[in-house]
Chains A and B, each alone.
Chain A
């Protein structure tokens, strides 16, 4: 027992967490005693404990052990790979530095929180099935939608993309691991802490945080203690995200295999490069906005009290300067996944590879110029709405380039329409609807009417569910053989797709209508005129919820006993499919050399990478070189005019 308490692991982490609580209690009581105040203050102890306990947990778990050894001058072993790889399920519950283990840790954790968030969504729809109060009071209801959104955004969509990329990206660029494996492990372990904190807020006196995931001040600075579980939980999720993004950037810039020029990188790598740029620039802003709330709430900074010189709109500007790029943080990795799948499953090169990469960078740039479109009715200076309207509309241009290029990729291909492809096509069609309602929302007079209504709820779900979540399912099915070494059940996968696709549309399409008709969002009770639609939406949403159980069953059963997967079941060219499924512990037995573009389907004898030194005959050809050289007949690719 003492050995387990002394060595890194969950046992020591549990002990340290208790120490963290004691530390919080001691320091708060000591400071209060020193000031001559009443010594006991449960709220203050809770806030300090929310910060201290996760940090103590991480120390106990061993996330900092190596750095502590190094900092204190004790011997470290640079070539120590004992924390790499997984022999049994237990290896997923310790600080593991293997990007493949971390990738699976990320994905499984994210899906756990998706199920929690989905359950909350079911409760929301049950309450909304009829007007009036069904079974939760106003406070609990506000908590349900707040925690639902916070979990889905910070604990599901953002980290699941980080998880998939964690697994796939080093393999794709021919690297043995991420650039900073120990930082990678630390990034992962901060995530479940943030998620548990947000979920546990339901146990806080006064209920969970109930001010929406936006936590607009000054409402958020004057509510029960549950709010702090969000304010501090976001810091951990955000720190995790920023550290991972830095890790991706360094990995992509410095660890590409020989021959892997930027213009030979698969688009998934490009997408995560762009996303990571967004994260390192934007995510500190959400951290700042929540620090404002923390300082105001806990230490009385009066940042949002106008009589004391505070400024309420400042919160919204800082928050939205993050939360608009955040939409692209939640979308660009999906663009990358879909590019991989559409090219492989159409057996054709991606159409306009360079424009696909440039449009990602254009979105990164434009993404920082549109934030105030969330504030058209906030009372900010009115002139700024017009440039924000124009940039918001213009950002649809690079997105449109991507949509049209995917369509052209499908055209004249040999389409293998299996589960990943179905989800990719589902994404392509549904995301267009989200994009169209987005352009409508750019138009200021429309937004003045529909902001804060169910039209917004419909729009964000078409973008984040019809967009992001469909790409997530596509990616999970696509890389499932690589990650687990097993095949999933194709039949169950198809059933899952169709139930999700139909359930999704029945649930969220009617919300456009009731929103424009005047139903505000974030209300537990609503006027009787919306009762019919709401009942229909609730019934559809339960079907949508059940469809995720099929996914869950398929994944669990296939992982345990599915047929063995071959190394390259999709006949894909990218590097991750050129190694065994699952890959060897250090990915590549020999360093690969990249000799061509990643999507040269249909080019006789084309390969993306070879193992061993390059042969002299392999003349370097960047992706898209053939089109620019004019070797392909043109004019036979036509599109009907819009």
Chain B
């Protein structure tokens, strides 16, 4: 056995000091790092605070382990002449073992209690129970569709999520095919869209702006491009948007089914639509004219050669009608007939016809 332990009380005191300093530095670093995306909901705030608390608790535990390992390596490593020596035969220490069982257990139960409080806090609507706006969110390969209630009429359909700032909203989330996950990182909320059941969560947007809507559950080939935008706007702006949607839906309701030709509004700019946030054809298709290079769907510059307007319009509103060889049916969202306005379909068709005949 070694003659002396190689460590004195002064060393231990220094370990404690160095550990405390390293913990302080680690905590400062952990809090300075800009972990989260922008806070755009009331719920984000309490989740971010929970995170900070977790960082503050975690750093000293890691520092404790690191300090003991590094000190042991430094002070107790084998030195010349000690190759055949053993350490002291210490088999355990009951008091110490009770301490390091009890203290972590207490810390963990405390953290769980705090997390539970935060969970209750973000999942209950304070003061606005029953008065929350409702939005139905439907996922399918590979797009989200948002439905707004329209008392006395058909639900209002949108490919973009619009929300008024400061008003509580409850989402009812559904899926048409496989699992998806409705996630807006800026809101810190997500839940799976599960075929056969309706899932839900609530939140209160607090910041005006546009934030990505992300599908977080692997849903197939187009999973990475299943992205839309959540627009949080002033209440007045939201009401106007909803009223416009309603008016359009009533004005052109039959047109979507009957075909773009009967649309009253002038055709939209097809090339802009092709690469715009919605429908963003360019996230799956290649088209040289629009500088699109994605390869999930067929190269439209090639496969549309010589096709007429009828074929192109049918392919937009009913992608299963004709599936290019080498590509799978069911990848392209089948709902553009509902979510695009007739003049938008007309605009896209006109543009693609122009490209195809070039």
Contacts and interface: CB of A to CB of B under 8 A. Distances in A.
B54 A446 contact: yes
Interface of A: 132-133, 137-139, 142, 211-212, 216, 218-219, 222-223, 304-307, 310-313, 346-349, 351-355, 377-379, 382, 385-386, 389-390, 393-394, 396-397, 400-401, 403-405, 407-408, 410-417, 425, 428-429, 432-433, 436, 439-440, 442-446, 448-449, 451-453, 513, 516-518, 520, 522-527, 600-603, 606, 623-628, 632, 634, 636-640, 642
B241 interface: no
A390 to B, nearest CB: 5
B72 A133 contact: no
A394 B101 CA distance: 10
Given A415-B78, A516-B36, A627-B90, A637 B183 contact: no
Nearest to B186: A518
Given A407-B68, A428-B69, A400 B191 contact: no
A389 B199 contact: no
Given A137-B295, A412-B76, A626 B89 contact: yes
B247 interface: no
B112 A393 contact: yes
B224 A138 contact: yes
B5 A407 contact: no
Interface string B16-38: 10010000000000000101110
Contacts of B78: 414-417
A138 B112 contact: no
Given A312-B194, A415-B76, A443-B50, A218 B61 contact: no
A347 B86 CA distance: 5
A127 to B, nearest CB: 11
Contact of A623 (B58, B91, B296): B91
A451 B216 contact: yes
Interface stretch (B157-165, B173-181, B266-274, B335-343): B173-181
Closest 10 A/B residue pairs (Cβ): A306-B196, A518-B185, A627-B91, A379-B199, A348-B87, A602-B89, A523-B224, A413-B87, A602-B86, A452-B216
Contacts of B82: 414
Nearest to A145: B218
Contacts of A522: 218, 223
A137 B73 CA distance: 48
Nearest to B225: A525
A495 B122 CA distance: 49
Given A379-B192, A642-B60, A142 B218 contact: yes
Nearest to B193: A379
A311, A347, A379 — most chain B CB neighbours (10 Å): A379
A439 B100 CA distance: 17
A636 B95 CA distance: 12
Interface stretch (B103-111, B143-151, B231-239, B350-358): B103-111
B178 A219 contact: yes
Interface string B33-77: 101110000000011001100100010111011111100110011
A639 B63 CA distance: 13
Contacts, number: 300
Contact of B61 (A223, A436, A444, A632): A436
A428 B65 contact: yes
Interface of B: 1-2, 5-7, 12, 15-16, 19, 33, 35-37, 46-47, 50-51, 54, 58, 60-62, 64-69, 72-73, 76-78, 82, 85-97, 100-101, 103-105, 108-109, 111-112, 115-116, 118-119, 122-123, 173, 177-179, 181, 183, 185-186, 188-192, 194-197, 199, 212, 214-225, 293-296
Contact of B51 (A349, A436, A446, A632): A446
5 contacts: A138-B223, A415-B77, A453-B216, A523-B223, A637-B90
B87 A379 contact: no
A428 B1 CA distance: 26
Contact of B108 (A307, A396, A416, A428): A396
A131 B107 CA distance: 41
A355 B97 contact: yes
Contacts of A448: 47, 188-191
Contacts of B109: 390, 393-394
Contact of A442 (B100, B112, B214): B112
A349 B62 contact: no
A636 B108 CA distance: 28
B93 A634 contact: yes
B69 A445 contact: no
Contact of B65 (A349, A407, A523): A407
Contacts of A600: 89
Contact of B19 (A218, A446, A632, A640): A640
Contacts of A393: 108-109, 111-112
Given A355-B92, A624-B91, A347 B85 contact: yes
